[in-house]
Amino acid sequence: MQIIDRAFELLELLSKNKGGYMISELSEKLDVPISSVHRLLSSLKKNNYIVQDPQNKRYKLGLKVLNLAVNLLNNYDIRNIARTYLEALCSKHGEAVFLTIFENEIAVCIDTVMNENSCKFFVRIGREMPIHAAVAGQVILADADEEMIDSVLKKTDYIQYTPYTITDPEKLKQKLKKIKSMGYGICDEELEIGVQAFGVPIRDHSGKAIASITMLRIKTGNNIEKEKLEDLKKTAFDISLALGYRPVHLG
């Protein structure tokens, strides 16, 4: 099975460098003989998962990988269900909105909707959302148990994106507790100066937070636009209902 592991390592390497690699560079980075790398490349190239630039001879990812990613996204029921709700929300307020899931302790954007009036800062599909700086992942993680939260925070690389980025694990933990009590979260220039984001969790049939929707806006003063926030919360609630969520009413 080691050859399969090497193939995955090879694809991951190529995915992080759009300029591609020479076979000697891949051999060095993987710590594998050139002959073994050549066999891997030949097999992946034959199946169109990688291509070789005819000019500089560098190897790059092929479009077959993109097809896999598209098929994966299309198979996510939550993405298909949420799409029309996201479009309606974007159309009403003219703000960019995006859908995030939490998988293997990583928050990843799986859909984005925007129009000509939207904030020019947007999140591309497939982007990993840094848990300490992006509310999209925070509102999902806030619903997790203590053990999961501690595990994620220990693995977090606390990069300071702006002067407002939270780089203290304890402060982040306090923010997560606040998010859980409020039912929504705010990212106030923590990832990008001048950009504010509101995030709300989406719940499945069991009531567990499995995803989130986030709205981006250019920050204009310190006031929260209550109508936009309320509509975001309602949209997340409607998507949750469509996924089978049924709130428990006590009394």
* Sequence letter at residue 57: K
Residues of the chain with confidence (pLDDT) below 70: 1, 70-76, 117-120, 221-224, 249-251
Joined together, the tokens standing for residue 124 give 């591309």
For 160-163, the CB contacts below 8 A with 24+ separation are 161/130, 161/133, 161/190, 161/191, 161/192, 162/189, 162/190, 162/191, 162/192, 162/193
| pLDDT tens-digit readout, 107-154 | 999 999 988 766 667 788 888 999 999 999 999 999 999 999 999 999
Q: What is the largest CA-CA distance in the chain?
A: 72
Q: Per-residue pLDDT tens for 176-185?
A: 999 999 999 9
Q: What's the per-residue H, E or C state across the chain?
A: CHHHHHHHHHHHHHHCCCCCECHHHHHHHHCCCHHHHHHHHHHHHHCCCEEECCCCCCEEECHHHHHHHHHHHHCCHHHHHHHHHHHHHHHHHCCCEEEEEEECCEEEEEEEECCCCCCCCCCCCCCEECCCCCHHHHHHHCCCCHHHHHHHHHHCCCCCCCCCCCCCHHHHHHHHHHHHHHCCEEEECCCCCCEEEEEEEEECCCCCEEEEEEEEEECCCCCCCHHHHHHHHHHHHHHHHHCCCCCCCCC
179-189: b or e for each residue (b if 16 or more CB lie within 10 Å)? Answer: bbeeebbbbeb
Name which of 25, 100, 73 is nearest 16 in CA terms.
25
pLDDT computed for residue 119 by the predictor: 63
Q: How far apart are alpha carbons 235 and 179 in whole angstroms?
A: 18
- pLDDT at res. 250: 40
Q: From residue 166, how far is each of 8, 30, 68, 218 by CA, in Å?
A: 33, 34, 35, 20
Question: What's the pLDDT score for residue 116?
Answer: 75
Domains of the chain: 2-67 (1.10.10.10), 76-242 (3.30.450.40)
Burial (0-12, 13-18, 19+ Cβ within 10 Å), 198? buried
Q: Which residue reads 């499995």 in tokens? A: 210
